[in-house]
Amino acid sequence: MANKTQPSKDSVADYLNTEEPLQKEEDCFQFLHLMEKLVGEKAKLLG
């Protein structure tokens, strides 16, 4: 079975900016930066 999940052109930052409360949004951005640093690539939205 083929994988139908494809990278989206939507912005990861725009998506994370919709999170509430503010502390959750800040935590998401911290995790995003940590994962990008560990993996060495920019994050992409899938869907």
**For 5-30, how does the pLDDT look when each residue is reduced to its tens digit (9 = 90+)?**
899 999 999 999 999 999 999 999 99
- At residue 47, the pLDDT reads 79
Element (H, E) at 16: helix 12-16
Q: How confident is the model at residue 3 (pLDDT cuts 50, 70, 90)?
A: confident
In this prediction the pTM is 0.79
Tell me the three state secondary structure of residue 23. Answer: helix
Phi, psi of 7 (to 5 degrees): -60, 140
C-alpha distance from residue 32 to each of 12, 16, 36, 37 (Å): 9, 9, 6, 9
CA–CA dist 12, 23 (Å, integer): 17
Mean residue pLDDT of the chain comes to 92
Quote the pLDDT of residue 1: 66
DSSP 19: -
Looking at residues 33-41, what average pLDDT do you find? 97
